[in-house]
Structures are given as structure tokens and as C-alpha cells.
Structure 1
Amino acid sequence: MFSLACISVGLLGASLPVVTANSPSDILHRDVVVIGGGASGAYAAVRLRDDFNKSIALIEKQDILGGMVDTYVDNKTGATYDFGVQSFLNVSKAKEFFDRFNISVSSNSSSPTLITEYIDFNTGAEVAFQPPSLTAQITAIAKFLDVIEPWESMLQPGYWNFPAPENIPDDLLIPFGEFLTKYGLEDGTPLMYSTTGLGVGNMSEVATMFVLQSFGWDMARAMTGQMGLFTPTSGGNQALYNAIAKDLGEDVLYSSTVTNSHRTNSSVQLTVRNHKTGKLTQIVARRLLVAIEPTDDNVTPLDLSPFERDTLAKLTYSNEFTGLVDNSIFNTSYYYFNLPSSAAPNHTLVFQDEPMVASFQYTGLEHLFRVMIIGNKTTTSSEAKFLAQTSFDTLLNTGRLSGTELQTQKLNWAAFSTHGPMHARVSVDEVKNGFFQDLYKLQGARSTWWTGGAFSVNFQTKLWEFDEGLIPKILEGL
């Protein structure tokens, strides 16, 4: 689910570079090589190796597994807070995966009760927005679920059954705001947006089918009590991926990226570099599973065919960032939420355009506040931090924080994480031209399979569910 920065070496599609005395290299032979140790890649690696007895190598650019989990550990108390993934959807056999690593889970929530302050972060003006009652919101979401249920198999856990262009329901391609108005579902919008819908930016303007990948069937079930959410009882969400790392041991190549490749219909060959030591590893495998977002940078080393390159280049993304800031001037009773002034008094379909800071939310730990930043396709980490500082300055200088005097103060970052490209989508015209049929033609071509949000949906346990459908295809003939 995370991006994997890669450097291309040599000509695309060329054979592997000759290893000289100045570039010592190991050669590994494996059944399957997996690129990316986030939710989908780590899960698939465990299942393929431990349950199907296949040799694997897992390439991960970071020095830990888990991608966007982002568990913060307080150095003084040992308390944890998950500022990335905050809970898991209880789909399929998700809890059983935790059980195999002896990690207990609970549905209990320890989040503090907060007062939501609606503020236009661009001006600092208080927004007198009056959301529908929680009962009205839940009722609308239940109705929303009834409307969208017939389309579930078209979009989740993947696009295997996505209809041919002439059979796509019109409602999937209209802007989400128009869709909600058509079915009288506006009352559910604040909860949809504030939980996961904000990941696509201005939710009202995005095609309905892509918002459903951000807030869809399972989130609606969770909000209406038809599906559970859970978290580990100790150690935070990172505990699972630490256990996976221990299980996989030396089959994980950390701090590493692919620099060159050669893929055929019978095998793949990769050159992998450890960016800390410079060590090169050659991997020869019968199958490749790509478990990172297929952005231009990520797939450059994968000797793409023209069809692969042209298809993947049509995707666009949101860039998400999250972090924790420690500034005592924030009021620990508040959840500072960014809405445009035009949302007042009850315009539920009005949202800020990205890039934007979505919120500053108290975590319950001392003075730590979680920051959510939604960027566009080009937003960088430094730009996201600058945007957060700018929004903070606006709140500070307009008296929206605990202090009333004007002052200069820097955000004190306790943690910051770049979630990278997420919520992959294309234009409505591309959908009508058969994009998803073309995208899934990539599956299995040149011994390569693809998983992750661009081929499924950005929820950890839903990605595991997608992997469950993909693994038998990978194993065919292996």
C-alpha cells in the first residue's frame, strides 16, 4: 500500500547487469518475489510461504513491515497510539490472521470524547455548521447501504467483475454529491467524510464509484453496527507486522528497492539494492507479486511493456500524510475540523479542495494531536508539513486555539508519516473506455501479479481478502 522509491539502472527490458568484483551480490532463487511489505504484501508473503510451502523473498524499502500502520509509542509511559491505520474491519477471516500470531484483539475504543470545532483553516473563521443528529446520519448511511449493495461485487474486493462499459450503472459515474442528492442521502455525509471519505479530497466532486472505494459497503456496515471494528489489545497495530517480520525472518530484504528487472512468461529476474549498505542482491523467481502503488516512480524499474506503461499512467492519486504534533496551545477537549465557511449552516455537501489539512484531533495522550493532510497527486512531504504549519498559524493568529494573544509558534512534530499515493482513480471517460478491463489484463502477464489499493481498496483487511482471491491464481502451475 505504500510507495516504493525505485531507481532504474540500465536499459528497460535489458538483461541483468554483470556483477563485478566492485559490486558484490547474492543470488537468490525463489518461487515468488514480493515487492512491498505493507498490508497486502506482508499478508501474501505469509500465506504463500507458511501455508502453501512456497519459497519467497519480500522486498521492503523501509526497515519495518506494515506500511501505513504508524504506531506511536510514548517513551515515558509505553502507551501506544495508532496515528495511521486506526482499526481493522472484521471481514472474512481477519481475526484468524491475528490469532495465528497470538495477538489478542478487542472492539473496545479508547478514543476520548471531543467537542468538534468547525473552522475554515484558510481564514480562521469559525464555521457555524450544524450537522444532522447522529441518529439521522446513521439512518441515512443505512439507506445508503441499501442503495449501493447491488454493486458490491463489481468493485470489491477487486475489479474482477467490473462490468463492460455498456453495462456500467450510470449512478457509479456521476459525482458523489449528485448521487447523494438523487437518493436523499445528504444527512449521512458528515460521518462518511470525517471517517474515511475525505481521502479523495472534495468528496462531492469525485465519481461515485471511487468514493465507494473510500467509504463504501463495509464502512457503512461498521457505522450501522452490522460489522465490527477491532484493534490489538496491546502493542498497537504495529504489533501484527512486528510478529510477521519475526516469522518471515531473513526472507525479508529491508531498506531495499528494485533497481532493474527482466520479466518473461516463465520467470522474473530482479536486481535489488540495499540503500543503507549498497549491497546488491539478484533474485530469480517464477512469479512476481507487486504490492505497491503502480506510480511512475515505483514501476520504472519493472521493464514495462508499452501496454503496461500506458495503462498504469492513466491512474491518478491522492497523497495522504498523517502525524502527531505536541503543542500545548491546542485545547485537549477539541477536534479542530476544516470546513469552508460556505458549509454553514447545514450544507452537508460542501468541502475543502485538496491540498488541505483535514483536522487536528486530540489523541488522549498528553498534548498530542493527530494531523490529517490530504494532498493532490504532486503534494510532497515538505509541502504537507508547510501546509500544516500554515493552517496552525492561521488558527493561532485568529484566536482559535487556547491562547488569545498573537504569537509565533512552530508545530512540534512528534511523528510524521507519508502514506504516499492512495485512492487510485481515473477519469469517467477512461472508465467508459474499458480502463478496468485493461488494468486487469496486467494480472498474470509476464509472470507478474498485482495487489494493493489500485487493484482493490485501501483497507488492510479488504486487501487481505483480495489477496485470498489472487493467491490461487499465483499458484497455478507453480
Structure 2
Amino acid sequence: MRSLASIAVAIGTILPFCSAKSLSDIIYRDVAVIGGGASGAYAAVRIRDDFHKSIALIEKQDILGGMVDTYIDKKTGKTFDYGVQGFLNVSGATDFFARFNISIGSGSASPSLITEYIDFRTGEKVEFQPPSSAKQIAAISKFLKVIEPWESMLFPGYWNFPEPSDIPEDFLIPFGKFLTKYGLEDGAPIIYSSTGLGVGNMSEVATMFALQSFGWDMARALTGQMGLFTPTLGGNQALYNAVAKDLGDNVLYSSTVVNSHRTEKGVTLTVRNHKTKKDTVVHARRLLVAIEPTHENVKPLDLSSFESKTLSKFTYSNEYAGLVDNKVFNSSYYYFNLPSSAAPDNTLVYQEDPMVASFQYTGLNDLFRVMVIGNTTTTADEAKVLSQDSFNALLKAGRLSGSNENQELSWATFATHGAMHARVTVEQVKEGFFQDLYKLQGARSTWWTGGAFAANFQTQLWKFDEGLIPKILRGL
């Protein structure tokens, strides 16, 4: 077996520019991981602590956890998770918390709220009458029975995705048509309001991508067949704070890759700290990319023409979440955005993106959670403008208690979740896109994880990592 040092020397001879760096700016690792969100942080812990390989975790923020987004009230110390709401209890998920001595519970008690359906474009109330809770859950039970035979094709990743000629016809029809075909319309409201809204107009997206947004384990959770849990103290961020402490100086915070060279023998990354402007050169035998493969994210990774052609086919939703502190909202309400055409009982009609999905009371003072679902190009600034426009419409229509139509939203916190819910066209699926996508796994010493390669739920990403890690480490 070749030593890490010999590999590093070989890489160094390929990249003469590295010799200009001081020794303190060069590190050698078995595996470099880009992205310290759910999939990257989990993989880094498992590879280093359990498989005893050296790692470097490169994270652009100054904390780990990605879109967890835990808000801590400065006066009371109480927390509210305005990003990730909880963890699905898939096999082994609780063990990851136990190793850091983090106690877990079934979830913090949410305030009981009255759902107020409003068209946020006009501020007018929508007289929508959803099916009863019993009917919705019954529909989800039926939904689960329909989709159960296909689970291994999509979860936890696309390893078993069928060849184009064998793709189930139902995968490629619009999700609204799928629900109608099987008489599942009563389940649409709860699918949409929980996680389905991430794809925008859920009725129009291809069924296979709706299943990635809301699939088997979410259906099991809603029907009592699988639990949801959260840490009992410190919010969901508590887990990733513990991971950060465990990994110590193996994490390069506030840093991104600005240049790279990837071969079948290993990779070299130039990593820049955007606060100090200091560069660190990372030589690694393997690379794990744990960020969404958007054009901007992967631009520094010297993509091959095949990699670039494949990854460029993805389109995404851009999601944003935050908390606003405005007393004019009614703390008994969950303001939910639906078009007027949803009335009286059209369960398959939704707003087009970009849109503000809801203003939801958190139970903390006057804080309301805001969810914005953007399209591929929606920016953070545009998401804030859209939120203000929706707020103005509610004020003008008299849906809030304030009379000042020019009142500004007061942001307590705001987070960019960025590109999520990666998807391609039906035609591209039929042309073998997912077979091409998985050809990238292992090529040029590079492996890929995250929502574009697996289901975008924290613990499902961990499950995907479990299958991926042995492949990454083979031969090390």
C-alpha cells in the first residue's frame, strides 16, 4: 500500500505552484470534505473517529450544521429551530446523538395555532376547507402503500435507479396527476405544508421529485410508524456544536476552495479563508463533495466536460428562512399562502414560486417564522423584498392589527438555505441522467453526497453516507 506521504509527493510534483507555499500552509490528509452541513459533518466524524483516517473539513460558515438554524432568545435563553424542524428516526440516527451525550426527545411543544389561508399577493382571505385530519392521515397511509415498492429506487440515493426503459411510468407524471390517479387528493395539504412546498407548485413537478421532497419516511412519521426527535437542550444546533468540538482544528472555517487539481491518484485544493485571506493547500487522497453541485459551488473544482455537462442540467429551488419580530401579527395564527383558486376545497392548487409560504408563530415573544420558496435565480435580497411585499399586502387588506401600511418587517434573523431540491426534466431522466450522475462517483478521486445525490433529510443523508464511506475508503 502506498503511504500518504508518497501520494502527497506525487501530487506535489504535478502542481509546482504548491512549492511556493510555506510548510505551515500545506496539509496532508486521507480525505478532504467540502461542506460542513448534515452530510459533510457526519461523514467527517465517521471517517476520522471510526475509520481512523485523517480528514480536513472545509466549511464556508463559521459554524457547522448548514441549514439547521437555531435561534437563541437573548433574554430567556429559549431556542427555536427555524431551519431544520426535527430529525427522522431512521436506523442508527439516535446513535449519532448518543456518542456526543446529547439527550433527545420527541420534539419541543409547538403552540396550537389557527391556520389562516390567505392569498399573499392580494392579502385576501381564501375560504379553503381542507379535509379533516383523519382523512388526510388516511390518505397518507394509502399513499405509503402505493409508493412502497419503489423505495429502493430513490432512497437513500439513486444507486438502484432503473434504466430508462424500466422507469415506472408514475415517476414521470406530474405529482398532482399521480395523486388524482390513486385517489390521494386528501393527503395533499399535509404533504405540501410539511415538506412538499420546497419544490414550489407541487402539483406540477414530476412525481419522483415530489417523492424526494416528501417520501417514505415522512409518510411513516405522519402515520405513527416512525418517530421524529430533537435535542432536549440547545436546539438542533447543539449536535453540530458537539461535532465541531470533536473535530477541532480539522475544520477550516470561513473557507472555500478557490482552485483545485483532481486526478485518479489524489486531489490538491487551494482553500482560502475569506476573513484572513490566508490560503491553505490541502493534499488529499480522496475528496468528498458535500455541497449542492450548483455552477457557482463547483466552479473551482476543475470539472471535466462530462462532469460539467451532467451537473449543469440540475435546476433548484432557493429557500430562505428567518424570524420577524412584529407585534401586528396575531400570535394565535399560522398565516398560510394559497391562491384564491384553492377555495373551497381544491387541494391540488398552489402558488407559483417565488413566494412566501407562510408566517408562523413560534411561541417566542412576537417572533414569527418566515419561509420563502424561490426559483433557481431568487436571491436573498429578492426573498426579503418578497417577504416585505407579502407583509404589505396583509397590512393593506386588514389581516393584521396594525394600521400603518408602510411598516417594515423587523428581521430578528435570516438564513440562506440556498439551492435545494435538485431536479431535471422528464426528458433528461429518460435519457439516463441518473446513470450519468452516478458515473461521477469515484471518478478523479472524488465522491459526492448531499441533496442532489440523495434524499434531502438530515438523517437520510447520514444513511446515504453510510453506504458511501466504504466506497470512499476502499484502497486507503
TM-score relative to the length of structure 1: 0.96
Moved over 2 A (4+): 14-21
Q: Report the equivalent of 1:86.
A: 85
In the other structure, the counterpart of 2:428 is 430
1:18 to partner: Cα distance: 4.9
For residues 116 and 297 of structure 2, what CA distance do their matches in structure 1 show? 39
SS at the partner of 2:188?
helix
Q: Which residue of 2 aligns with 1:175?
A: 174
Matched, 1:439 2:437: yes
Please name the residue that 1:466 is paired with.
464
Amino acid at match of 1:467: D
Alpha-carbon offset, residue 108 of structure 1: 3.9
Does 2:217 match 1:218? yes
Deviations 1:114-162 (CA, angstroms, capped at 9, x unpaired): 0000000001110000000000000000000000000000000000000
1:36-185 → structure 2 map (5 Å cutoff):
36-185=35-184
Contact kept, 8 Å, 2:86 with 2:107, in 1: the verdict is: no
**3-state SS of paired residue (1:282):** strand
| Partner residue in 1 for 2:3 | none
Deviations 1:41-96 (A, max 9, x none): 00000000000000000000000000000000000000000000010000010000
SS of the equivalent of 1:329 reads coil
Note if contact 2:272-2:278 (Cα within 8 Å) is conserved in structure 1: yes
Partner of 2:6: none
Q: 2:18, 2:281 within 8 Å by CA — same for their partners in 1?
A: no
CA deviations over 1:300-348 (Å, ceiling 9, x no partner) = 1101100000000000000000000000000000000000000000000
Following superposition, the deviation at residue 385 of structure 1 comes to 0.3
Match of 1:17 in 2: 17
1:456 to 450, 454, 465: 454
CA distance, structure 2, for counterparts of residue 159 and residue 402 of structure 1: 49
TM-fit CA distance, 1:24? 8.7
- Asked if the contact 1:318/1:377 (under 8 Å) is kept, the reply is yes
Q: Which residue identity does 1:135 align to in structure 2?
A: A
The alpha-carbon deviation at position 17 of structure 1 amounts to 3.4
Q: How far off its partner does 1:471 sit?
A: 0.4
Output the CA distance in 1 between the equivalents of 2:379 and 2:32.
29
Among residues 467, 470, 477, which one is paired with 2:475 in the alignment? 477
* Alignment partner, residue 395 of structure 2: 396
Q: Give yes or no for contact 1:24–1:279 (8 Å, CA) kept in 2.
A: no
Q: Contact (CA 8 Å) 1:60, 1:256: kept in 2 or not?
A: yes
Shift of 1:20: 4.7
Alignment of 1:164-313 (within 5 A): 164-313=163-312
Q: What is the SS of the residue equivalent to 1:416?
A: strand
**In structure 2, do the counterparts of structure 1 residues 126 and 311 end up closer, same or farther at CA, with 3 Å as the change threshold?**
same
Using structure 2 for the length normalisation, give the TM-score: 0.96
| Conservation of the 8 A alpha-carbon contact between 1:24 and 1:280 | no
1:408: how far off?
Answer: 1.6
Contact 1:373–1:388 (CA under 8 A) maintained in structure 2: yes
Partner of 1:7: none
> What amino acid does structure 2 have at the position aligned with 1:138?
I
Counterpart of 1:334? 333
List runs of 5+ in structure 2 lacking aligned partners: 1-13
- The 1-side partners of 2:467 and 2:433 are apart by 21
Q: Deviations over 1:383-439 (max 9, x none)?
A: 000000000000001100123x34321000000000000000000000000000000
- Counterpart residue type for residue 65 of structure 2: G
**SS in structure 1 at match of 2:162:** coil
Contact 2:358 2:371 in 1 (8 A): yes
Paired AA for residue 38 in structure 1: G
Structure 1: 5+ residue stretches without partners: 1-13
Report the 3-state secondary structure (helix = DSSP H, G, I; strand = E; otherwise coil) of the residue aligned with 2:117.
strand
The residue matched to 1:67 in structure 2 has which SS? Answer: coil
Deviation (angstroms), 1:282: 0.6
Secondary structure at 2:259 match in 1: strand
C-alpha deviations, 1:351-400, integer Å up to 9, x for none? 00000000000000000000000000000000000000000000001100
- Counterpart among 406, 409, 419 of residue 408 in structure 1: 406
CA–CA separation in structure 2 for the residues paired with 1:302 and 1:269: 10
| Structure 1 position 357 matched with structure 2 position 356 | yes
**In 1, Cα distance between equivalents of 2:256 and 2:449:** 17
Which amino acid counterpart does residue 122 of structure 2 have in structure 1? Answer: T
Alpha-carbon offset, residue 16 of structure 1? 6.2
Secondary structure, aligned partner of 1:205: coil
Q: Cα gap change, 1:18/1:49 in structure 2, threshold over 3 Å: closer, same or farther?
A: closer
Residue 10 of structure 2: aligned partner: none
8 Å Cα contact 2:105/2:232 also seen in 1: yes
Change (3 A) 1:329 1:19: farther
Number of equivalences: 463
